[in-house]
Chains A and B, each alone.
Chain A
Amino acid sequence: MADEDFEPVIIGFCCNWCSYAGADLAGVSRQQYPPNLRIVRVMCSGMVHPNLVIDALTKGADGVLVCGCHPGDCHYIDGNLKAENRKEAIELLLEDFGIEPERFRLEWVSASEGPRFAEVVREMTEAVRALGPSMYKT
């Protein structure tokens, strides 16, 4: 069972145009969510190299959340679909590294989905908390 006091650290890569704006809207509408996420702003979810995800997870992150625009809404036409195509590769890598697949998530959050963003963070935080600390955590 997971340690009661365990506070997971989750790295979030949020695209500038939709998800980062959705995260801002969560704030504007005062949606409360657990303070475990650390957001790195990227221009597009398609910009997130699989190595960034794997590096984060092997250097001690308990989870990585990549958020992009909903399909069809991408500021760069279809960068988000490229992120989705990469998801499978990332999942295979996770298997190689012995990392639970639940520690990585790709979600679509639009600029108007503040509540949804908060919900995604809540869900992910609880899921990762239930898994316990990453085996790579020193």
Chain B
Amino acid sequence: MIALTIDGKKVEVEEGSTVLEAAEKLGIHIPTLCYHKSLEPYGACRLCLVELASSRGSVIQASCVYPAQEGLVVKTDTERVLKNRRIMLELLLARCPDSVRLKEMAAEMGVGEPRFPKKNDDCILCGLCTRVCEERMGVGAISFANRGSERKVSAPYDKHSPICITCGACKVVCPMDAGLLSEISLNEPRPIMSEYDMGLSPRSSIYIPFPQAIPKVAVIDRDTCMHFLKDACKSCENFCEAGAIDYEQQDEFEEVDVGAVVLSPGFEQFNPDLKKELGYGRYPNVVSSLQFERLLSASGPYMGEILRLSDQKHPKKIAWIQCVGSREVERNYCSSVCCMYATKEAIMAKEHAPNLDCTIFFIDMRAFGKGFDAYYERAKELGVRYIRCYPSSVKEVPGTKDLRITYQKDDGDITTEEFDIVVLSTGIRPPKEVRQLAEKFDIELDKHGFADTQSFAPVETSRPGVYACGPFSGPKDIPETVMEASAGAARAMVLLKDERGTLITHKEYPPEKDVSGQEPRIGVFVCHCGRNIGGFVDVPGVVEYAKTLPNVVYAEDNLYTCSTDTQENIKEMIAEHDLNRVVVASCTPRTHEPLFRNTCREAGLNEYLFEMANIRDQCSWVHMHEPEKATRKSKDLVRMAVAKARLLEPLYKGTLKVNNEALVMGGGLAGMTAALNLADQGFQVHLVEKEQQLGGNFRHIHTLLSGDDPQKKLAGIIERINSHPMIDVYLQSEVSAVEGSVGNFKSTIRHDSTEKEVSHGIAIVATGAGEYEPTEYLYGQDKRILTQRYLEEWLAEDKPELQNAKSVVMIQCVGSREEARPYCSRVCCSQAVKNAIAVKNIHPETDVYILYRDMRTYGLLEEHYREAREKGVRFIRYEEDQKPEVSVKGNRLEVSCVDPILNLPVRINCDMVVLAPAIIPNEDVDEVSKLFKISLNQDRFFLEAHMKLRPVDFATDGVFMCGLAHCPKSVEESIVQADAAAARAATILSKDEIEMEATISVVVDENCDGCAYCIDPCPYSALTLIEYMYEGDIKKTVERDGALCKGCGVCQATCPKKGIFIRSFKLEQLGAMVEAALGET
């Protein structure tokens, strides 16, 4: 090693280093234009001049080529140095007066207008391009030609080079953005487009695929990397200070023995390139919906600003075109999600710019999911325009690059409108690789390439033990996908129940040191993170400062505090200095806290005696131009962390014994399916049904569009339930009281006047839903006016009334999608289609009309909608404010409505009117909600913990839901959700004990006066008001259920008396950090 002094600071560098590299190690910035880490130094630009002290006075030298020597004394900031640099820059600026980079540097270094004659060149002869071409790419297509003032970079004979490989490296390194490449190569380098940004922005060949990638490390794209293509470059190696680049890494093959396989290959976006008439790929301002999603994203190509691709201007009008690649002759299915994502994108776009005009062109608005119709209504209120028309083409307006769409208005007139951006709502299709996948696993696919599954086994493929979930088996939204994922796990767990837990290994830790009563002895470890922190923050300075803080007995700096050898070092220091608190100042606790806590544990220190100061992500990286202020802030952050560390206490995760029996409320299809799955997994199940027989609403379903026989299936399920040794069935019973929480519930089941108490670890709410009894359309006044449910029974029995009917009118949305019930009942459209087809099959001559508002035959059901049309079923749309009217005319019925396409009244004489009534929540939902402290949504269906990601969980741990109690859904969807609920329940039931969070709330009884302010705000119902006798008086206080509390701290912030706090986030601890931030102590 060589020791030298730069600006009064000592530094040690390896032999062969240059003065510039030594200065960089100290974090001293020296300007340069011709230096590049992966190229030989060249000394061309002369901006990196420094002053070297020597016996004969000081000399000025270019630091990038001057070798570091023992004892060398360097000055980088003397007036002489700065003056020389300014002259150099002035000369360069005179040569290239238009260079943006030079102008910026001139402003920074205080260089004004050059005094030398100006030359309009775009090259400063830094030689980066010639060097990278020769040294890194091994091509040597360009070099310097001519001498003196004629010197320039060119290919031989000033012609296009025959050997240039158009890698673009010269373009990348050029500080002047000179257009050299076009003179050398006939080809143009094509940027590598980011897959994550859907081709809207470029990326490099070594890259982190997306901001939330786990693990968040760079990968090399071997298809574009010059090293893998041409055995060249390897530049990235020189930039990685951790030395983590490994070009020799190979794919590894591992063989694992498994008992079940879950396939979830996802979906692919329909390639909008196939829709040339809509302008995709031809016009820059036509984008796909996923591209628009990136435009909206804060991490997207324009940082969340919505800009047109053609001119980076803010759009004023955006149009969405629905059903691109869906509901077509070839792809005769609905992609299920596009109506809602287009609505979401429009709402978000309006959040970006409230005056933005958003228009959605659609065929049917399929807002069939939970809460979707309300969202659709909200979009309309916000001013999103919905136009029921599928434009046949998009044309670009020459010059402006605006887009012209011709469409039919509601009143039938044809009009043309111009938009700034057109978004194509591209559909979902199976990924290309599924055919290969299906072959490998020997499973059947349907004609579209989706996994072939059965109505009663929606996640099972044609091969036992191989399960399919997510859009692999058909287009679906996030909640359905998440449910299917859990359902797949549930089915697999039945197979694997005997092997459960056999692959778990437990790590051994040394016995823990008792630190109680000890004065804090804090060790502070400050990380350089290579140059990530060290390059901008004076790390040794921070260490010295840390040593002055109270209770800090040891401090050191590390090149990488997270490296394996540093962990060993931390453990040694804990032992050597008898540390009982550890502070690491480095990156973010979100990624590295677990690592350092584990190190503490390995050193016998309680893992909660650890605190982190985030001096990289929240300091050095965000204050790169203010090293002094960044250093001061780092010291503040360390002081804050030390202040908190002083108050840290050892914490332990409590455990709770788990009762592994289950209670399932509701013996309909969902409840029975969940019960059977849990019983098949080996758990005892108590199945409670209020009726005198099992089956619920499923008893009224006689046919399915898939052709399967529901009643046969029902009989089979009931038979299995009754004969299953692990299921106790309680008919005509109800749960009258529930005590306890996750892992340990005690419920009272009442049957007539007898009561029985059962203990269980979890509960599944599958209490179903009811059917709305219509008060409209003369229902109940004429027996020829019936509901779909009765029609289905009539069809099953082939009633004579049907044989005589010449004309049948079906009316949709009876009681749904209106003020009283603003939600969609989801299944009625497909039920009407199913029954209409059945009528046509039995009596082809019977006229069948379906009066609808939007046909919501989503997903693969679309096919049946077409089948119905092919069979002659007539579909007439009506508007909410122009509902059909039913009247009795002689011995026939008459239905009149207004056809919005013809804009004319229509009268239909018919023999039967069939209504599709809404699915409505049960009347007893309030009681169930009180029993388990679970919530209802506005429509009085049960409210899940998260609409998208936790669709079967409640906010209250240990309680799950499935079936119609959650929201209207089909038979298949109920089965999936029931299995999903069973899988979620099994995550608790399969454990002997559950671990509780350590950082949860603690009630301070002496401060709590039982005011109960904290009880309602608790999102997990973890707090209860209790009373007990204390010194002859009634004392009120709050009790916390450790199994339910998640440590959010809402209680702590609500309590006016410091009666409750969160461990590790006590008011005192947070307050100490604030005080430390404000003052020196």
**Distance to closest chain A CB from B644 (angstroms):** 9
A41, B589: Cβ atoms closer than 8 Å: yes
Q: Considering the complex, which residues of chain B in the window 1038-1065 have a beta carbon less than 8 Å from any beta carbon of chain A?
A: 1046-1050, 1052-1055, 1062, 1065
Give the CA-CA distance A111 to B1071 in the complex, in Å.
Answer: 25
A81 to chain B, nearest CB (A): 10
Let me know if A27 and B617 touch, CB within 8 A.
yes
Quick check: A11 and B1077 within 8 Å, CB to CB?
Answer: yes
CB pair B1019–A59 under 8 Å, yes or no, is no
> Of the candidates A11, A44, A115, which one forms a contact with B304 in the assembled complex, judged by CB atoms under 8 Å apart?
A115
Answer whether residue B662 sits at the interface, using C-beta atoms and an 8 A cutoff.
Answer: no
Q: Which residues of B contact A30 (CB under 8 A)?
A: 621-622, 624
Least CB distance from B198 to A in Å reads 16
Q: Do B1048 and A76 have beta carbons less than 8 Å apart?
A: yes
Determine the chain B residues whose CB is within 8 A of the CB of A100 once the complex forms.
none
Least Cβ distance of A25 to chain B in Å?
A: 6
B780 part of interface (Cβ distance < 8 Å): no
The reply on A79 being an interface residue by CB < 8 A is yes
Q: Are the C-beta atoms of A40 and B640 separated by less than 8 Å?
A: yes
A132 at the interface (CB under 8 A from B): no
Q: Which residues of B contact A23 (CB under 8 A)?
A: 617-618
Verify if B735 is at the interface (C-beta below 8 Å from A). Answer: no
Q: Are B1053 and A61 in contact (CB under 8 A)?
A: no
CB-CB nearest in chain A for B299: A112
Contact call A35/B633, Cβ cutoff below 8 A: yes
A43 at the interface (CB under 8 A from B): yes
In the complex, whether A16 has a CB less than 8 A from a CB of chain B is yes
Which residues of chain A are near B617, meaning CB under 8 Å? 23-24, 26-28
A110 and B298 CA atoms in complex are apart in Å by 9
User: Is A29 within 8 A of B1049, CB to CB?
Assistant: no
A46, CB-defined interface residue at 8 Å: yes
Q: Is the CB of B590 within 8 A of A38?
A: no
Counting residue pairs across A and B whose Cβ atoms lie within 8 Å, the total is 151
B435 → A minimal CB distance (Å): 35
Contact at A76–B1078, with CB atoms within 8 Å? Answer: no
Judged by a CB distance under 8 angstroms, whether A56 is at the interface is yes
CA distance A31 to B624 in the complex (A): 9
> Does any Cβ of A come within 8 Å of B636's Cβ?
yes
Q: Within the complex, what minimum Cβ distance (angstroms) separates A122 from chain B?
A: 11
> Contact: A76 with B1070, CB < 8 Å?
no
Q: Pick out which of these stretches binds chain B: A47-55, A91-99, A123-131.
A: A47-55
- Bound-state CA distance A127–B637 (Å) is 23
Q: How far is the CA of A61 from the CA of B1076 in the complex (A)?
A: 11
Q: Is A78 part of the contact surface with B, judged by Cβ < 8 Å?
A: yes
For A32, give its contact among B588, B625, B640, B1079 (CB under 8 Å): B625
Whether A20 is near chain B, meaning CB under 8 Å from some CB there, is yes
- A21 at the A/B interface (Cβ < 8 Å)? yes
Decide: A52 and B621 in contact? CB cutoff 8 A: no
Q: Out of B298, B304, B1017, B1073, which one reaches A40, CB within 8 Å?
A: B1073
Report the nearest B residue to A17, measured CB to CB.
B590
Judging by beta carbons under 8 Å apart, are A33 and B640 in contact?
no
In chain A, positions 32-86 with a C-beta closer than 8 Å to chain B are 32-33, 35, 38-44, 46-52, 55-56, 59-61, 75-79, 82-83, 86
How many Å from the CB of A5 to the closest CB on chain B? Answer: 13
* Partner of A43 from B1055, B1062, B1067, B1078 at Cβ < 8 Å: B1062
Q: Which residues of chain B have C-beta atoms less than 8 A from A76's C-beta? A: 1019-1020, 1046, 1048, 1050
- What's the nearest-Cβ distance from chain B to residue A44, in Å? 4
Ranked nearest first, the 3 interchain pairs of A and B with the lowest CB-CB distance are A47-B1049, A27-B617, A76-B1048
27 contacts between A and B (CB under 8 A): A24-B588, A24-B590, A24-B618, A25-B299, A28-B211, A28-B617, A28-B621, A32-B622, A35-B626, A38-B636, A41-B589, A41-B614, A42-B1070, A43-B999, A43-B1048, A43-B1065, A46-B1048, A47-B1048, A52-B1074, A59-B1078, A59-B1079, A76-B1020, A76-B1048, A77-B955, A78-B1019, A79-B1019, A82-B1017
